[in-house]
Amino acid sequence: MNFAFENRIAAGKALADLLPQYANLPGLLVLALPRGGVPVAFEVAQALGAELDVMVVRKLGVPGQEELAFGAIASGGIQVLNDDMVAELELTEEDMAPVVERQRHELLRRERLYRSGRPALNVAGRTVILVDDGIATGATMRAAMHALRERHVGRLVVAVPVVALQTARKLQPEVDEWVAALTPTHFWGVARWYYDFSQTTDQEVTEILAQAARAAHPSASTSAPSAHLPGRGAAAQATSNAAALPL
């Protein structure tokens, strides 16, 4: 099997190569969907000279079939439901409410953990590049997009290494710019496009964000050690195809 990307770091480098027009843009902000989107977004932010933060989103899994999403929630009280899925499975408010409440608590926990007391960066009026390691159904990405619109983002760019073609066609009209290295017609899941798709841990996310914060504000940094980013320096294995060119 041929893999497009060695790992998330290589995917981030390949993605950054598709965004040269944003290099050193004043006020540019890169937002990552954790956890897997953070190593990808770090490479993008470093290449473009941008600040980095997270956009925490939680998938709402169908009770008993948690991998199947009926929607998602995002920071700021945003909730997006897949109405077709809800109708097909005849999910009631009583079915969904406990899932929403549980994921809301987890969302808040992750926000506190990842930022280590740092406030969320302001997005109002700024150009924001929203990054994940890939998009399958788009439920979490759509929730993040809606949350950013609610916060009056200036220009919204979605950038991902790989996205299912059908999903790209649905989401692309909702943003100002859409960038993807790969848009395959036969998707088979995000993991299929990576040689190494090992899970990104909470600790790795916290360390990457701390390193990015120190780089953005060097005068405020201390002698804390740099984050350990596994696999740094690995070369991308893929060619970077334009988003409009399906495989």
pLDDT tens across 80-116, in order?
888 888 999 999 999 999 999 999 999 999 988 998 8
Give domain status of residue 144, yes or no: yes
Domain coverage including residue 56? 8-218
Structural domains in the chain (count): 1
Q: What is the pLDDT of residue 1?
A: 58
Q: What is the pLDDT of residue 14?
A: 97
Give domain status of residue 1, yes or no: no
Query: 80: which strand partners?
Result: 72
Nearest C-alpha neighbor of 11 from the set 133, 151, 138: 133
Q: What is the pLDDT of residue 46?
A: 97
Give domain status of residue 225, yes or no: no
Opening angle at CA 63, ends 58 and 69, nearest 5: 40
Give domain status of residue 243, yes or no: no
Q: What is the pLDDT of residue 119?
A: 85
Q: What is the pLDDT of residue 219?
A: 58
CATH number of the domain enclosing 128: 3.40.50.2020
Give domain status of residue 3, yes or no: no
User: Is this structure's pTM higher than 0.85?
Assistant: no
* Tally of helices (H runs) and strands (E runs) in the chain: 7, 8
Name the stretches of the chain with pLDDT < 50.
221-247
Q: Which residues of 131-142 are buried (b: 16+ CB within 10 A; e: fewer)?
A: bbbbbbbbbbbb
Q: What is the pLDDT of residue 66?
A: 83
Burial of 68 from C-beta contacts in 10 A (0-12 / 13-18 / 19+): middle
